[in-house]
Structures are given as structure tokens and as C-alpha cells.
A = this chain, B = another copy of it.
Amino acid sequence: MKYTDATIEEVDDALKRSWKAFELYRDFGLAQRAELMNAIARELEKEAENLILVAGKETHLDPARLQAELKRTIFQLESYAAACLNGAWLDARIDTADNKRKPAKPDLRKMLIPLGPVVVFGASNFPFAYSTAGGDTACALAAGCSVIVKAHPAHAETSELVAAAIKRALLAHIMPEEIFIHLHGAAFEVGKALVEHHLTRAVGFTGSLEGGRALFDIAATRPMPIPVFAEMGSVNPVFLMPKKLMQDPGSIAVQFAHSITQSGGQFCTNPGILVGIDNESLNLFIQCLHKEIEKVKPVEMLHPGIAKSFHEKRKNALQQNDVEVLSTTSFTSTELQTIPTIATVSASAFIVNPILHKEVFGAYSLLVKCGNMEEMLEVAKALEGQLTATIIATPREVNENLQLIESLKEMAGRLVLNGVPTGVDVALGMQHGGPYPATTDSRFTAVGADGIRRFARPFCYQNWDNDLLPDELKNDNPLHIWRTVNGQLTMDPVGVFTE
């Protein structure tokens, strides 16, 4: 181990320093926060070559993928900085006084304010975009929170480099260095101490169900409970309707073979379950899928622990009643690599076996064959909460299966029609989250600028003089943000008639 775990004393010290920095940072205006985030983006750009080299060595992800991920990370910082500036996320509401009303109506002005120090646990599968300077950090900084990142041990050196880039951005802009603190902690005790600390105000986590739930439980049993936003992955079921499938089984199969196996299948939106009606169109789809999977070269997984888990879970899944291998890669895999695999099972065997409902993290997908639509609906109802669900269907098939659509809505945070669930666009319209166990809080998103709201709470100023209010709530709207004034969304100054 190149880096030493933080001690309990170091964790305590880090939180105290983080709180002090928070006391300064929370009063930084939106423009200054955006400036910091853009500066971090610039520092990452400058360091790109080295970052990709080191991350490649640590994660075995190929340079093109890492390049794209770093670009995404930079885009996140920039677009959340723009959202921060735009200020719509503040949910500013102004209700002006009415002294004629009995009882008199007070002046009420509300906006979101930051929660306090946020602890971020990076993801093993996204060394940039969901780690040290990733989505959680960007959202917390936009909200006005200080951040403590616990480096993921599988890419600790990459994390060090990113942390150094953030520090350079802070120093260059003469901001308190400890707005951002970086710690190592391969042992669970470090994470536990970070979540338990009385100054910690929120937690962002991307990883396994076991890890996420453990942190959630620690946070919920604190004297003062705090929110944990744990994104814990899912199997992202895909429902294949026969008519749509029949239109072009070949290209749908090509699309899914790619979605299932890209980057070794190491995506939380990887389609791990395919559900179809056992007929001619499914057979054609299977034939094409088979050919595609055979061609996929195994890749080395993120780290030996993940590879070991893949092989164990795959083996266990394949040993379940009625499960058969449909196709695998034609190449030989080492124990550090994925074995791109499609297995198959009957709906009846699937429904009663919860082991088959669980994620096999890696390039693996299970095709569930149903006798009819009723059975497909039963499969849907048997599944737990998911980040995404996908349906391949004609408009008519959608309209004729509204009960299935309702089941998918109930289950997931995002419902894809005639596409693949992988490829999580960074946009306000994106929802990356979903009912438990996909996440611990389905009411928030981990991707897109709405994620900023995870780290803020509404705060109301009652009866404050205009001069004493923060700029966001002053009468003349100096920041030119959207506000709801006496029930009307507007950018106008208070007092000007709108609509």
C-alpha cells in the first residue's frame, strides 16, 4: 500500500478544518463558486495527459474511455458551475408583506443554503467523473459546501493527482485551501469515522449495495441523522416487445451487445437482464446477439477484487436452476478479465429465484424467456428498485401494455424507449437515481445540475430589511436569477408588475 489510511484523529482534525473552511466558503457568492469550479476544470485539463496515464495503470480502462471520462468530468464542473451561476436551483421564493391583511402578512424570502461539510466516497469504476473531482464534489461545491474526499483505494494515485489539481485551483484563486480535503482510507473504519463525525452534514457514495447500506445505517443512527446519497447500481432490466424486435432484431442485438460489454460491462447502468417473449423475433435477436458476443474481447477488470467478485457471481448465477449459457466470448479470459456472457432462463425459474435478480457487475446479462405478456408483467413486478428500465417497443406496443409501463415507472428512475440505458447524459433532464436498492434516496439525482440540491436546505428570512438580505433575495434582483415572487416565476425586481 503506497498511501497510509487516515487515523481517527486525522479524520477528526479534517472535519474541524473542513468546518472552518465551510464557515468562510458558505458566504462566497454564486460567481465565486462558479469561478472555483471552472478553475478546477482548467487544472484538470492541464494535467490531462498524466491523469490518463496514471488512471490507465490503476484501473486498466483504455485511454479513449479515460479521455472521454475526463472530458465528461470537466463538462460536469463547467455545466454545474453555469447552473450555480444561473441560480434557478436556489428555488428563491419571495412573498411580500401585506399589512392590510388580518393578521398582517409578513415579508417571507426563502432560498437554499448549504448543509455543511460533505464527505464523498469515489467510485471504483469512474476514477474521474464519479470520484475526487466528480459529480458529488462538483454539486457540493456549487451548493456552497466544503468537501472531504476519501480516495478510492483502487485508484489512489489518480485521486492524489486530482486532489493536487483542486488544491492548485484553490491557491490560485486565493481561496481557503481546506474547502477541499483529501484522505486515504482502504479500511472501512476510516469511512465509518467520516460518516459518524458530528460535523459531517451529508455523504455522497457510489459503489456496492453492501457498502452504501452500511454507510446509510451509520448515518441514520447518529444522534443527528444526516442524508446519505448512495448510488448502489442495479440490473437495469430491458423489456423486448415482439413487434418492435421483429422490425430489426440484428441492429438491436448489435446495440445491446455493445451496451452490455463496453468497458468490461463495468457501468451501473449496464443492462444485466433482458426480458423477451419466446418466439421467432426473440430467436432472431438471440442469433445476432450470440454472434456479437463471440466477437467481444475480454478486458482486464478495474481491480482484482472486482474480477474475483465477477467470476464468483457469474459462476453462482450459472449454477442456478434452469440457467444456461447462451453465448460467451470466443476468446480465452484470465482470472483478472471479464468473460463476456449471455445466459438464459425461463421466466418461471427467474421469478422465484432472487439470486438471479441481483447484479453480476461486469459484462454479463441474463435473458429471461417469457411464455406471454402476463409472464413478462410478472417478471417486472418481481424486480426491485432500479436506476433504469428499458423497453423496446412500437408505439402500439406501449399503448397496449400500460400496466407493464406503470410497473417499470414504479421500479426505476429513468425509462428508456428504444435505446440502451448506458450513456448517462449530463443534463438537467437526466435522472440518475431510483427506488431502493438502486439508491438510498430516490428523491434526488446524482447526474445533472439538479444534484446540487442534495447538499442544500431551504432557509427563510422573515421581515428582513432589503439591505440586510443576501443578493439572491434583494428587491432589485442584482444576480438576475429566476425567483417566484408572490406566486409568479420572474426575473423582474420585486414591486414590478409581472404577467
- A residues lining the B interface (CB < 8 Å): 23, 27, 86, 88, 91, 93-95, 103, 105-106, 108-110, 113, 115-116, 216-217, 220-221, 224-225, 227, 385, 395, 398-399, 406, 409-410, 412-419, 423, 425, 427-431, 433, 435-437, 440-445, 450, 453, 456-465, 467-468, 482, 484, 487, 489
Contact = CB atoms under 8 A, between A and B. Distances in A.
A394 to B, nearest CB: 10
27 contacts: A27-B406, A86-B487, A91-B450, A93-B428, A105-B425, A113-B409, A116-B410, A217-B220, A224-B385, A225-B440, A395-B465, A395-B468, A399-B468, A409-B459, A414-B461, A414-B462, A415-B461, A415-B462, A415-B464, A416-B462, A416-B463, A417-B461, A417-B462, A417-B465, A428-B484, A433-B458, A443-B457
A417 B437 CA distance: 44
Contacts of A457: 413, 433, 435, 442-443
A225 B213 CA distance: 10
A94 B453 CA distance: 18
A430 B225 contact: no
Nearest to A468: B398
Contact of A429 (B109, B220, B441, B443): B109
Contacts of A416: 106, 462-463
Nearest to A433: B458
A428 B110 contact: yes
Given A463-B417, A468-B417, A425 B489 contact: no
A131 to B, nearest CB: 22
Contacts of A423: 103, 106
A427 B458 contact: no
- The 7 nearest A-B residue pairs measured at CB: A108-B429, A431-B460, A220-B220, A95-B429, A414-B460, A95-B427, A416-B462
A485 to B, nearest CB: 9
A324 to B, nearest CB: 31
A489 to B, nearest CB: 5
B461 A110 contact: no
Nearest to A456: B443
A463 B418 contact: yes
A88 B483 CA distance: 12
B429 A110 contact: yes
A252 to B, nearest CB: 14
Contacts of A465: 395, 398, 417
A427 B385 CA distance: 35
A436 B225 contact: yes
A63 B75 CA distance: 60
Contacts of A115: 442
A221 B213 CA distance: 10
Given A417-B468, A430-B108, A462-B419, A95 B443 contact: no
A498 to B, nearest CB: 13
Contact of A445 (B430, B444, B458): B458
Contacts of A459: 409, 412-415, 431
Nearest to A96: B429
Given A225-B216, A484-B88, A93 B429 contact: yes
A105 to B, nearest CB: 6
Contacts of A429: 93-95, 108-110, 460
B431 A23 contact: no
A487 B83 CA distance: 9
A237 B445 CA distance: 35
Given A88-B489, A436-B225, A440-B225, A413 B460 contact: yes
Given A419-B463, A460-B413, A425 B106 contact: yes
Nearest to A462: B416
Contacts of A412: 459
Nearest to A222: B436
Given A95-B427, A429-B93, A458 B443 contact: yes
A65 to B, nearest CB: 13
A461 B409 CA distance: 9
Contacts of A221: 217, 220
Given A227-B441, A431-B460, 10 more contacts: A93-B450, A105-B427, A115-B442, A116-B410, A224-B385, A395-B467, A415-B461, A417-B468, A428-B487, A430-B460
